[in-house]
């Protein structure tokens, strides 16, 4: 039987485990021998490769993170290490790869294909939702629900003590989590890299709200802006309200995958196996405008991620 290996790489995201489970089961149903690569790119180099069994994927569908674990391996940049990884795959009879991760992982496997012609299919998984060509990446919905739960809890305290809270979300240079959370959590302020903000205008708008009886404020900022501390101090100094900063951090990556992330994982995983069966050597699974499809790696790696124009429009009033 032809071997196909499934691995996770880069930052962990809820939805990775359901994708692993589905990829193993669907690959087996299509006549492949599925293997699991543990510890990401390092696992390819160090031969942390095992045949997938029923036991190895049992009970993982509800677990956050990745049971296969993940690493970022600088050694994979070295040709000799990639050659060692290739020899490991050859030893196990593995001729195809499925990688669940971000654009950095896809680029690494693309170089691996250029060197040794091992085809791969990429499943987008990052809570940042910043992979070009796809509207959705695994882990985003779970992360948004973690943020929503946290902001709802913070709002209770803010209302009880007449306070302002600034909540910092993850996302690197992408403000998707912050914008989606600001809209759905009823935030008063949203600061993201994609939008210009005007603190004078924000202050004027919020003073009017406070005169009308508003007794608490919620601001949501993306970590890429680096403004969390400053905005917290600014609220205290200019709006004369006790203000606190909450950095959610890695709590956003964890948690049991939501229904949406589980469904998306299954659809991406079956599409990945189908893509390899069709002979597509280096394709990324994408979801755009309600449709599933694939894109060649160069169209993902060479493009920039564009923010949703509709979401930007909804957030503009919160920036001024």
For the stretch 274-283, contacts whose Cβ atoms lie closer than 8 Å and that sit 24 or more positions apart, written own/partner, are: 275/121, 276/4, 276/96, 276/98, 276/119, 276/120, 276/121, 277/30, 279/119, 280/119, 280/121, 281/113, 281/117, 281/119, 281/120, 282/109, 282/110, 282/113, 282/119, 282/120, 282/122, 283/121, 283/122
Kindly report which listed range (86-100, 281-295, 302-316) carries the lowest average pLDDT score: 302-316
Q: Catalytic pick from 12, 46, 47, 128?
A: 128
Model confidence pLDDT, tens digit, residues 160-208: 999 999 999 999 889 999 999 999 999 999 999 999 999 999 999 999 9
Instruction: Please check whether residue 13 is in contact with residue 253, taking contact to mean a CB–CB distance below 8 angstroms.
Output: yes
Question: How far is residue 149's CA from residue 143's CA, in Å, rounded to a whole number?
Answer: 10
- 239 CB neighbour count, 10 Å cutoff: 16
* Reported pTM: 0.95
Inform me whether the pLDDT recorded for 287 exceeds 90. yes
Burial of 241-269, coded b for 16+ CB within 10 Å and e otherwise, reads bebbbbebeeebbbbebbebbbebbbbbb
Instruction: Please check whether residue 286 is in contact with residue 292, taking contact to mean a CB–CB distance below 8 angstroms.
Output: yes
Say which CATH architecture domain 3-139+257-303 belongs to. 3-Layer(aba) Sandwich (3.40)
Q: What is the C-alpha end-to-end distance of the chain, expressed in Å? A: 61
Q: Is 237 known to be catalytic?
A: no
Instruction: Using DSSP bridges, classify how beta strands 94-101 and 243-247 pair: parallel, antiparallel or unpaired.
Output: unpaired
CATH H-level superfamily of 144-253 = Phosphofructokinase domain (3.40.50.460)
Is there a shared CATH topology between the 3-139+257-303 domain and the 144-253 domain? yes
| Domain locations along the chain | 3-139+257-303, 144-253
Instruction: Please check whether residue 82 is in contact with residue 97, taking contact to mean a CB–CB distance below 8 angstroms.
Output: no
Question: How far is residue 115's CA from residue 53's CA, in Å, rounded to a whole number?
Answer: 30
The one-character DSSP state at 138 is B
Q: Which two tokens stand for residue 181?
A: 């959370």
Instruction: Please check whether residue 271 is in contact with residue 292, taking contact to mean a CB–CB distance below 8 angstroms.
Output: yes
Inform me whether the pLDDT recorded for 73 exceeds 90. no
Average pLDDT score, the chain: 96
Q: Which residues 6+ apart lie within 8 Å of 251 measured at CB?
A: 146, 150
Model confidence pLDDT, tens digit, residues 210-251: 999 999 999 999 999 999 999 999 999 999 999 999 999 999
pLDDT recorded at residue 172: 85
């Amino acid at each position: 039987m032809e071997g196909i290996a499934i691995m996770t790489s880069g930052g962990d995201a809820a939805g990775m485990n359901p994708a692993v489970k589905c990829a193993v089961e669907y690959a087996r149903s299509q006549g492949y021998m599925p293997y699991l690569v543990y510890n990401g790119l390092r696992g390819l180099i160090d031969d942390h490769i095992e045949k997938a069994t029923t036991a190895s994927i049992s009970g993982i569908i509800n677990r956050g993170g990745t049971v296969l674990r993940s690493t970022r391996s600088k050694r994979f940049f070295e040709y000799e290490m990639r050659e060692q990884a290739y020899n490991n795959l050859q030893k196990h009879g593995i001729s195809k790869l499925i990688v669940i991760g971000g654009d950095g992982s896809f680029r690494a496997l693309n170089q691996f294909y250029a060197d040794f012609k091992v085809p791969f299919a990429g499943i987008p998984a990052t809570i940042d939702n910043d992979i070009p060509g796809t509207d959705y990446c695994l882990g985003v919905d779970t992360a948004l629900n973690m943020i929503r739960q946290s902001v709802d809890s913070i709002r209770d305290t803010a209302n009880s003590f007449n306070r302002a809270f600034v909540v910092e979300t993850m996302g690197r240079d992408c403000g998707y989590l912050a914008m989606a959370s600001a809209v759905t959590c009823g935030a008063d302020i949203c600061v993201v890299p994609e939008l210009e903000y005007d603190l004078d205008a924000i202050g004027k708008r919020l003073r009017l709200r406070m005169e009308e009886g508003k007794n608490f404020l919620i601001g949501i900022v993306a970590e890429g802006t680096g403004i969390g501390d400053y905005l917290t101090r600014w609220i205290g100094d200019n709006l004369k309200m006790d203000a606190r900063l909450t950095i959610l951090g890695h709590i956003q990556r964890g948690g049991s995958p939501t229904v949406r992330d589980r469904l998306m994982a299954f659809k991406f995983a079956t599409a990945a196996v189908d893509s390899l069966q069709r002979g597509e050597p280096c394709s990324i699974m994408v979801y755009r405008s309600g449709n599933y499809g694939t894109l060649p790696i160069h169209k993902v790696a060479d493009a920039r991620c564009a923010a949703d124009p509709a979401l930007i429009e909804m957030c503009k009033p919160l920036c001024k």
